[in-house]
Structures are given as C-alpha cells and as structure tokens.
Structure 1
Amino acid sequence: MDTNDDDDHPYINEETEIGHSTVQVRCAPAQRIVPPLNFCPVERYLYRSGQPSPVNFPFLLDLQLKTIIWLANEEPQDTLLEFCDAHSVQLQFVTINPDGGEDDNPWDGLTEHSIVTALQLIVQAQNYPLLVCCGMGRHRTGTVIGCLRRIMGWNLASVSEEYRRFTGSRGGRILVELLIEAFDTGLVKINRADAPRWLQSVGGMETKR
C-alpha cells in the first residue's frame, strides 16, 4: 500500500460526512468484522490494540498491515504467527527486557532499549500500515504510544489522558507515566525524508541522522 496516497481506506482516522441518508440492514454480514481488544487508530495508518485473536483477523485484513510490533517477553499466539506468515505481515518481536532470563516477570514494563527499538520502527514510513500491540493493549502499548506523543510535542497532561483511556477501571500505573515523562526523545533517530507524513508535519521536529 502507498501510504502517501489519499485513497479510500476504512480505518485512517479521518472524519467522514454521512449526511441524512438511512441504510436498512436486512441480514447479517457474511463475515464478522471484530476489532481486537482496545483497538484504536493512533495516526494515519498507525494503530494500537491488544493481542489479536482469530476472530479479529478479517478486521486486520482490511487494514492491509505491513508490520505488527509485538511488545512482550513471550512470543504471540501461534494463530497470530500463522496469520502474519500467510499474509506477508512482518512481525517485529520487541522483547521487554532483551537481557533478561526465563525468571523475568512477564508483567514487567518496558525498558528504555525496547521503547527506542519500537519507536525506530514507528518513525519509518516503509513499515506502514503498522499495528502496535501487547497482551491487553494497555500499559506496554500505552508506554510506546506515550513516548511517541512526547516526540510529537504533546504536553504531559494530554499524554496521560490518552494512556489512561485504555487502562480500564484500575487506572494507569504511575511508573508508566513517570517513564514516559522521563523518556529522552533524542534517543530516537528520525530522518524526516523517511518518516510518515503525519510525523513530517510535526512543528519543530529536528531531523536526526
């Protein structure tokens, strides 16, 4: 897919004028289209969610994904691996702690190294359309997206509000918000010419080489 084209796409996070017409649905669709848990567009052709399951695969096909970033210590379910292989989707496995061992807590947060690794994939348009996901699509995914918002120049109040929107009734983790706040955005090397269009337009963004 050419992500620079302004062609029609079902989930590009743009407003659509519906008008006053009424559509009458007489029968159920032939195939269920179910988004993954906590799915949401982040920017044009960039999405976030929890781990997709087989019921979500028809929905993912509509996204025409090129890359899925998986944030975890363990591999995703075999069904997701098979989906990526069958549809030529690049699965980028970003481990939580690349230096850790089998005894690491699977609920631990991301390290600075893993955040930078994920963001380096996100700031390159060649990887789009792109989905960032973890088990539930809450804290690890929220950490990466929060650090991306820092790169985009969002204020911390807006970053925290977006993060907490996906954390459910238990609320956010203060350690995640502190990690986002302390993240050194200069660690992410951005070549403006290779960046997605929406990132190229970020005011005051410096080109990193």
Structure 2
Amino acid sequence: MDDLLVPPANFAMVDHGVFRSGFPQKCNFGFLKTLKLQSIVYLSTEPYPKSNLEFMQSNGIRLFRFAMEGSTKSSAEIHREIIEEALKVILDEQNYPLLIHCRSGKHRTGCVVGCIRKMQRWCLLSIVEEYRQFAGAKARNCDERFIEFFDVSNLKKSSQPAICFRNTFNFI
C-alpha cells in the first residue's frame, strides 16, 4: 500500500506543467513527488501546515502564497489584484511544474484557472462549465461574474514571459 499514488481532491492538469487541486494532504505527497513540482501557488489566508512545508523543503519546492479570503460575497476588487499577482507567477515558466490550490480547489482556484482560460481565449461558456465541474453544487454566481468581467489586458505583455504555456496563449 505504500506505493499507492493518491492525487489531491479536485486534481487536474490545467496545461503543460500547470496543475490544480484542493489542499494536499500527507497521503498525496507520493503522488505530488511524481509531478516533480518546482512551485506551489497557495490561494488562502490559512497557515500552511508544517508537514507540507517540510515536504516542500525536502523536495525543493517553492511556495508562493497569495492571501485570498474564501467568501460567498462578491469581493472582485479585492481579489482582482491578488489574482493578477498570482497569474504573474503562474505564467512564468521558470516556476514549472507548478500546482495551484486553495482549500478545496473549487472557488479561489477556479477563479484563477478561469482567468487563465480567458487568456487562452476559451469561450465563456466553456470556462463557466469547467468552473462548475470543479465547484459542483456549490458554484457561485459571484465567481462566474468575476471571471466573465476579468480584464486580461490588465496583465501587461511586458510582465509576461516570451512563451506562456507552450504558446497556447494569444494575447489581445
């Protein structure tokens, strides 16, 4: 049983070298090792557990923490700046392979991934469908509106690496 690989809840590949999930538990460490992660983008105000920090240190993984409150209220203006800063880290291929996560991998992670999909020029219907797939019955209208109105032009081209997600981005 020790060699059983268990992915974190809501785990999925976003793009080459970029993954998403809920909060990794100790039982997920073996699986995470197989990803050869360089970085973790953590979207929460909650402290990172000591066991996770030790796992990261022993595997040479950098932690980028963005203090996003979990909320059912529309707090788009507060999250907009934080999400833009997180996207700068996520778009930098020097940080790959990279895992994006919050507590459950649904709302905060879903908003960030939704913004990535906008940058990839996915149609809004597909972006919302993916968000709902991970959020399940707890999909939030405020998150969907945030994604819909997120302006990708706010991310200046000068802050982007020359190649993003293996050329899957077409910037406006």
Is the CA contact 1:120–1:189 (under 8 Å) kept in the aligned structure 2? no
- Match in the other structure for 1:193: 162
Gap regions ≥5 residues in structure 2: none
Is the CA contact 2:114–2:147 (under 8 Å) kept in the aligned structure 1? yes
Give the match's secondary structure for 1:167.
Answer: helix
RMSD (CA atoms): 1.6
Is 2:135 the counterpart of 1:175? no
Report the CA distance between 1:122 and its aligned residue.
1.2
Is the CA contact 1:51–1:76 (under 8 Å) kept in the aligned structure 2? no
Q: Would you say how many aligned residue pairs link Structure 1 and Structure 2?
A: 165
Choose from 12, 23, 27 the match for 1:40. Answer: 12
- Match in the other structure for 1:55: 27
Is 2:56 the counterpart of 1:84? yes
**Normalising to structure 2: TM-score of the pair?**
0.89
Q: Aligned partner of 1:56: which letter?
A: N
Is the CA contact 1:65–1:130 (under 8 Å) kept in the aligned structure 2? yes
Counterpart-to-counterpart distance in 2, 1:57 and 1:45? 17
Higher relative contact order (CA 8 A, sep 6+): 2
Q: Aligned partner of 1:172: which letter?
A: A
Counterpart-to-counterpart distance in 1, 2:145 and 2:25? 31
Counterpart-to-counterpart distance in 2, 1:33 and 1:74? 26
Is 2:119 the counterpart of 1:147? no
Gap regions ≥5 residues in structure 1: 1-28, 97-105
Counterpart-to-counterpart distance in 2, 1:155 and 1:114? 24
Counterpart-to-counterpart distance in 2, 1:181 and 1:131? 23
Q: Which runs of 4+ in 1 moved over 6 A?
A: none
Report the CA distance between 1:74 and its aligned residue.
1.7
Q: Aligned partner of 2:35: which letter?
A: L
- The CA deviation string for residues 112-157 of structure 1, in whole angstroms up to 9 with x for no partner, is 0111011111111111000000000000000000011011101110
Is 2:98 the counterpart of 1:130? yes
Is the CA contact 1:126–1:194 (under 8 Å) kept in the aligned structure 2? no
1:72-111 paired onto structure 2 within 5 Å: 72-96=44-68, 106-108=69-71, 111=79
- The CA deviation string for residues 160-183 of structure 1, in whole angstroms up to 9 with x for no partner, is 000000112x24100000001111
Is the CA contact 1:75–1:93 (under 8 Å) kept in the aligned structure 2? no
Indicate how the Cα distance of structure 1 residues 72 and 30 shifts in structure 2: closer, same or farther if over 3 A, else same. Answer: closer
Larger Rg: 1
Q: Select the structure that is richer in helix.
A: 2
